[in-house]
A and B are shown apart, each in its own frame.
Chain A
Amino acid sequence: MLSRRPRFPAFLALLILASSYAAAHDLPANTIMNAFVKIEPKEAHLVVRVPLDLLRSVSFPMKSSQYDLAASGHAVQQALEVLGMGFVLQENGVRLTPSAFSGRISPAADRSFEDYDSAVAFITQPPDLTMGIFYELGYFDAHFVYPISSPKSVFKIETLVASDLGSVTRLTVRYMPLGESSRAMIITGGSGPVALNPAWYHAASGFVVLGIEHILSGIDHLLFLFCLVIPFRRWRGLISVITAFTIAHSVTLFASAFHLAPRGAWFPPFVEVAIACSIVYMALENIVGADLRRRWLITGMFGLVHGFGFSYALSQSLQFAGSHLLVSLFSFNVGIEIGQLCVLAVMLPALALFRRLVPERMGVIILSALAAHTAWHWMLERWEALRQVEWPRLDAASLVTLARWAAALLLAFGAANWLVKWARRKLSSGVKLPESPMEQPSRSAG
């Protein structure tokens, strides 16, 4: 039976939350809370399971070494007050107030929280008074009901439970919107309010920022970019190269997001090694003075690998995209491009300045050698990590997957090659070609 909300000083509840974990030398054994948030036409339901060791400031009566369930009524109410303050549910930025709630102590072995309906049903059941629950070896389950103005509102959730533990605590949330499929996310303590169903523009802006942050913090991607641009004197020469890189990494980024990438423990370290190899290759190509007219093709190939690398940062965050997966993916990509452009805006003038101080060819060699040296060490370290992993066996099913990827790549590059040649034919048929370092002999870059 749901209860009306009794009075409880809010400041005391907050105090309890903040000091809910006392012992400085121990961490709680279980720091994971589980929650369901279900949206109905007029109400939002928050059903949450909190380990008892995150609620130490609430004194549950004991009988010997077990909880005195029969005498726990007041403590249960106190715990509900504490958790009512500890979980913040917002509708369109306004904190919601629960209109009703219920709760109980549950044993450690209970599995009712594997789905929403069994969790709700379990909370309504009175505890078995003959059941023994030892001190902190269990959970406190609570069900809060919030009146809402519209199921289409934007809802956010924040956890303040055991706030002194910060990001050690985690809240796994299964969000069940009205008329839509549910989705899951994991929120660490101290994250602040997290949108359960962000508006598309909120998702977009968040993922643009994420993309910018990721490229700016990805030293290996930046070093690859650096190796790409070292031989070029002008922006125009870079356009085809950067475009190829962007298209290629977008393809594999999207493919990963839709679970089309190879799975298995071997793949992430393989990608890491391949990224390091791509930097070494580019740097060596600069040193030997290879033909830059084909650089877009090589860059495109390596762009595929870098896209997989970007996807690992994205995968952890996609859970917060709500129903705007495509928008979020696109925005992440936009963020990466913005970051790249910002980096190029610094790199190119810096390189131009460098060329004034050092003869051009020598400068290309020096900078490329430094990049190659760094990437070489990365490659060796990552190769060691890759060696530890067992490669998947080549069976019939994996051969089919491999063949599909090979076919897709071959067709994509064939199409790209045809497109470039068609564009050149069109351009050369009546329009004067703009000056482009891509058309100059490669050795003139030096």
Chain B
Amino acid sequence: MKSGRWLYAGAVVVALVIGLGLWNPIHVKADRDYVPKFRVDASWPKELPAPVGYNPLTWPTPTSGDTEAHRWVQGEVAGSCTDQWDNIYTFNRAWETGVTVNGVLQGNESGAIDSNDATPAGAKPSPPVVVFNSDGKTIAGFGNPALQQTGPEYGYPVYLPHGAHGCYIDYQGNLWVGGNGDGVVQKYNPKAAAAAGASATYITQIGTHGVCDGPITGTNTYTSCSETTSTNSSHTLLSEPPDIAVDPLPDPVTGTRGTVYIADGYGNHRVVVFTTTDGINYTYNRQFGTDCGHNETPNGTPTVSNPCPDGAFGHTGGGHPHCVILANDGLVYACDRPNSRIQVWTKTGTFVRNIRVNNFPNTSAAKAQAILSAANRACDMDFYPNVDYLAGKSPTNQKYIIDVDLQSDNGYVLDRSTGEALRALGRCGIAPCPGHNAGEFAYSHTMNVDSQGSVYVAETITGRRIQKFVRVDDDDHDRHDHH
């Protein structure tokens, strides 16, 4: 009993001494800048709608007499973006079912659910744009999925960009979409579009639908869309643009707001910049980036065998650049996908630096080697925390880059300064993570971070879905500390 009292007294004394700060055996300082750790939320999104009589071509008007419920099924989710209210927009290719000509499926992607998916009775392609709230509930679907039924552009979209690819919500709430098989980016009012459904019309577009920055070499105008013939110089035409960003701050050249930065990067090799005074008419202002003429690592080997000059994007394979992001440091980040690096520029086109995605010390040598032996490691990126750049807040702490690796099927949390991969999104850790289960990926392609620190990764070829990753560690500090 006496020893029990001594033990009790000793415990109290030790606790008080440490609690009052008189002594501390641990010399590790509190470091609240934890590297964010994520886990997949397998319940997101919720099941997609199954409207009775659903017809993708006439949505929201049902087909008369059709009393069957038709579940929406997305195809390749080629683009994902977030608005300021943390709603998630996806731009998918289920509608690009293509048409068959002489037994050959036409169109950009074979993402048709009818021929490539196990199709439950009655399932139909979802609208091209599907909008989820942060809880995963579908709140809207829209976009014109009509395809040309005759003529030289048979099988190509009537209205939307061909090769649906990339989306962006600007500071005014407008939706921008691009196409890696077309020469346009289009701007939509998502509220009006949601009401119109399959009849949604754009506010404006930059470029020309069906025509790219290159010579027309065949029977239809889409033959102008080619990375081998694009001129990288047009002031009116684009060539297969995959991504868009819009600046809410005054443009450094014109002083106007709403400047559009386009990753003009499947055909061309540039970021091209258009300015506006009214949000409807856009004028070419400047561009930056050139064609390197080759890829640095043609076989996807880790060694940069033939470096590209600063400011030159990879030559082939598409995605040169594949993404364009405006950061709170006032710089422009562009994904040089073939060279697995992120190029950083000023808004006026001065090259700043490269961030190479080739630094994997926090995994085994074998896993690092497996990652580095594949290319396309810089497919898309966003910052974490995702500071409210839309409001033009002053730069603070976009400490991490979250990067999507297309070929190794994963996403990484990178140190923004060094590019060191600190963590991975996938359940496999920092390693190739292919698969179709939650936390695995098949062609992880685009991603975005919402204001709550959740990360969304969309998958294209064979993946055809979007996954949500939520942060699981103690994260009160850096997510909100950005003022």
Same complex origin of A and B: yes
Complexed CA–CA distance, A388 and B8 (Å): 35
Q: Which of A136, A392, A396, A414 contacts B12 (CB 8 A)?
A: A414
Within 8 Å of chain A (Cβ to Cβ): is B104? Answer: no
Q: Which of B11, B29, B139 contacts A26 (CB 8 A)?
A: B139
Contact B475 A265 (CB under 8 A): yes
Within 8 Å of chain B (Cβ to Cβ): is A411? Answer: yes
Contact B12 A407 (CB under 8 A): yes
Contact A136 B191 (CB under 8 A): yes
Q: Which of A1-59 contact B (CB under 8 A)?
A: 23, 25-30, 32, 52-53
Q: Looking at the assembled complex, report how far the CB atom of B75 sits from the nearest CB atom of chain A, in whole angstroms.
A: 21
Q: Which of A108, A266, A389 contacts B173 (CB 8 A)?
A: A108
Contact B21 A66 (CB under 8 A): no
Contact A108 B84 (CB under 8 A): yes
Contact A397 B30 (CB under 8 A): yes
A127-135, A153-161, A201-209, A374-382: which lies at the interface? A127-135
Contact A395 B191 (CB under 8 A): no
Complexed CA–CA distance, A30 and B390 (Å): 16
Complexed CA–CA distance, A29 and B473 (Å): 29
Within 8 Å of chain A (Cβ to Cβ): is B113? Answer: no
Residue of A nearest to B30 (CB): A397
Taking residues whose C-beta sits less than 8 angstroms from the other chain, chain A's interface range is: 35 or more
Residues in B with CB closer than 8 Å to A132 are 172, 278-280
Contact B140 A26 (CB under 8 A): yes
Q: Which of B14, B37, B172 contacts A133 (CB 8 A)?
A: B172
Within 8 Å of chain A (Cβ to Cβ): is B194? Answer: yes
Contact B476 A388 (CB under 8 A): no
Contact A65 B189 (CB under 8 A): yes
Q: Which of B21, B131, B194 contacts A400 (CB 8 A)?
A: B21
Contact B131 A266 (CB under 8 A): no
Contact B30 A398 (CB under 8 A): yes
- Residues of B in contact (CB 8 Å), total 57
Q: Which of B426-483 contact A (CB under 8 A)?
A: 471-476
Residues in A with CB closer than 8 Å to B17 are 403
Interface mask (B211-241 → A, CB under 8 Å = 1, otherwise 0): 0000000000000000000000000000000
Contact B473 A389 (CB under 8 A): yes
Contact B474 A406 (CB under 8 A): no
Contact A29 B19 (CB under 8 A): no
Residues in B with CB closer than 8 Å to A388 are 39, 472
Residue of A nearest to B11 (CB): A410
Within 8 Å of chain B (Cβ to Cβ): is A264? Answer: yes
Q: Looking at the assembled complex, report how far the CB atom of A145 sits from the nearest CB atom of chain B, in whole angstroms.
A: 29
Complexed CA–CA distance, A411 and B131 (Å): 55
Residue of B nearest to A137 (CB): B173
Residues in B with CB closer than 8 Å to A414 are 8, 12
Residues in A with CB closer than 8 Å to B279 are 66, 132, 134
Within 8 Å of chain A (Cβ to Cβ): is B405? Answer: no
Contact A107 B131 (CB under 8 A): no
Residues in A with CB closer than 8 Å to B11 are 406, 410
Q: Which of B16, B174, B203, B474 contacts A407 (CB 8 A)?
A: B16
Inter-chain pairs besides A264-B474, A396-B24, 19 sampled, C-beta below 8 Å? A23-B60, A27-B139, A28-B139, A65-B192, A107-B172, A137-B172, A137-B173, A263-B476, A265-B471, A265-B472, A265-B474, A393-B34, A395-B26, A395-B31, A400-B18, A403-B18, A403-B19, A406-B11, A407-B16
A contacts, CB < 8 Å to B: 23, 25-30, 32, 52-53, 64-66, 107-109, 111, 130, 132-138, 263-266, 388-390, 392-400, 403-404, 406-407, 410-411, 414
Across chains A and B, which 9 residue pairs bring their CB atoms closest together, nearest first? A390-B473, A136-B191, A407-B15, A403-B18, A137-B173, A397-B30, A404-B19, A264-B474, A403-B19
B contacts, CB < 8 Å to A: 8, 11-12, 14-19, 21, 24-31, 34, 37, 39, 49, 51, 60, 83-85, 87, 131, 133, 137, 139-140, 171-174, 189-192, 194-195, 203, 248, 277-280, 390-391, 471-476
